[in-house]
Amino acid sequence: MTEFTPNLSRDIDYYKVTMGQVIFEKHRDAQVTFTLKNRANKQPLSEYVTPEALQERLDRIREQGFTAEEIAYYGSILAQNGKAQFTPEYLEHLANLTLPEIEVRVNPESGELDVDPTGDWVDVTFWETVVMSQTNELYYEQLMESKGLKLQDLYDEGDRRLNEKIEKLRAYPGIKFADFGTRRRFSADWHEHVVSRLVNELPDQFIGTSNPWFAYKYGIKPIGTFAHEMPMVYAGLADAGGRNPMDGHGEMLEDWDDVYDGGLSTALSDTFTSEFFFAEFTPEQARKWNGLRHDSGDPIAFGERAIEFYEQNGVDPTTKTIVFSDGLNVDEIIRLYEHFEGRVNVLFGWGTNLMNDLGLPANNFVMKATCVNDTPTVKLSDNEGKHTGPQEQVDRYVDLKDERIALGHGALARTVTV
């Protein structure tokens, strides 16, 4: 392993920056808590990650923040209208960013890592992907040491598997995909190795990366719009203000469009279930937004529903794009591409199976926004097992979601007092 050197942009996804600008303009003072959660409870992350080692890395990243080189890169990124993607005011905020204080502990009851920073939303948001990527890297470093595994042996196996992926993809030149693997990658070094190979070996199919540092370093497109965090927190803000939390979803989409005006317009569809999304998304938004991202539930069923939705609203589906990003492997990518080819544009956001496939079991953990202004947040996935939030709040959101669906399109529904 190489010696650790802090690099904030290497540990985040681009959507942290794109979301951050909307937060900066609309809700910079909201107080948000993020919480690390291990979905695979049988084996605590603390088995191989000590609080001291993780704390040391996070402190060094916090101390450095964004460098002038990183800020200059963000300032050079252009939006689809040819203008600067990020405003001078937001770039100045990033240049002066000090991440909120963070403490890593071990829960005495569960034995699991406790990491739950709170702070101004515009700042604390960056801890999500940083904590996840650093936790995973430390996990595998200590796992290898405890098992006596050699890094080169793992790299050899990882390259063998990557060779198979590349060969399969070459047979389908129409497949376009991006790297979404920062959060649960094996390591930053392996991540860069894979990106380098894809840039050189599949230049016409590998369209970019969600990792802004590697996008900068390899001259490829940074990929990202918004995550579940945005509608979750917006719903929580509405709830904290005594309003229907379901109002937050549409308000978030409106704020996003106000800031980016048709740019970065791929809508994540499953924060409160795709059924709710298709009832909430208006015909005007269907025409203006570039496409949708699928991240839970049956991808074929979702794609068919999206095509039907566009056709019902007088939109040619072949002018829109679906980004599939849920638990992909190469065979699933090929299956989805073959099913939808010629009917709707498809892209693939490929994460863990691309950046952490070296023969060791992959971890399954998340870091979610769990509270805003002292109000718990909720996520209602298309997979009920991925619902997050206090059960009482989850049940309440389900009822409110069902009521909203019954009202029809969101622009009309939000005029109705619930």
Query: Looking at residue 98, which CATH number applies to its domain?
Result: 3.20.140.10
Confidence of residue 414 (pLDDT cuts 50, 70, 90): low
Q: How many structural domains comprise the chain?
A: 1
Residue 292 lies in a domain: yes
**How do residues 102-148 score in pLDDT, each as one tens digit?**
999 999 999 999 999 999 999 999 999 999 999 999 999 999 999 99
Q: What residues make up the domain containing 124?
A: 8-413
Q: Residue by residue, what is the 3-state secondary structure of 17-55? A: HHHHHHHHHHCCCCEEEEEEEECCCCCCHHHCCCHHHHH
- Averaged pLDDT score across all residues of the chain: 95
Residue 316 lies in a domain: yes
Residue 2 lies in a domain: no
Q: Which of 259, 271, 312, 264 is CA-nearest to residue 288?
A: 264
Residue 37 lies in a domain: yes
Q: Is the pLDDT of residue 356 over 80?
A: yes
Looking at residues 323-330, what average pLDDT do you find? 97
| d(C-alpha 13, C-alpha 164), whole Å | 26
**How do residues 32-89 score in pLDDT, each as one tens digit?**
999 999 987 678 999 999 999 999 999 999 999 999 999 999 999 999 899 999 999 9
Looking at residues 189-202, what average pLDDT do you find? 98
Cβ contacts of 257 within 8 Å, gap of 6 or more: 265, 285, 288, 289
| d(C-alpha 216, C-alpha 76), whole Å | 10
Residue 229 lies in a domain: yes
CA distances 111 to 41, 42, 114, 133, 379, Å, are 10, 11, 9, 20, 25
Residue 283 lies in a domain: yes
Other Cβ atoms within 10 Å of 48 Cβ, number: 20
| d(C-alpha 258, C-alpha 278), whole Å | 21
Residue 180 lies in a domain: yes
Q: Residue 78 — left, alpha, or beta (φ > 0 → left; ψ -120 to 50 → alpha)?
A: beta
Residue 382 lies in a domain: yes
Other Cβ atoms within 10 Å of 88 Cβ, number: 9
Instruction: Scan for tokens 């540990």, then name that residue.
Output: 11
Q: Which of 330, 305, 298 is CA-nearest to residue 320?
A: 305
**How do residues 289-315 score in pLDDT, each as one tens digit?**
999 999 999 999 999 999 999 999 999
Looking at residues 315-331, what average pLDDT do you find? 98
Tell me what percent of the residues of the chain surpass a pLDDT of 90. Answer: 94
| d(C-alpha 381, C-alpha 272), whole Å | 6
C-beta separation of 345 from 322 below 8 A = yes
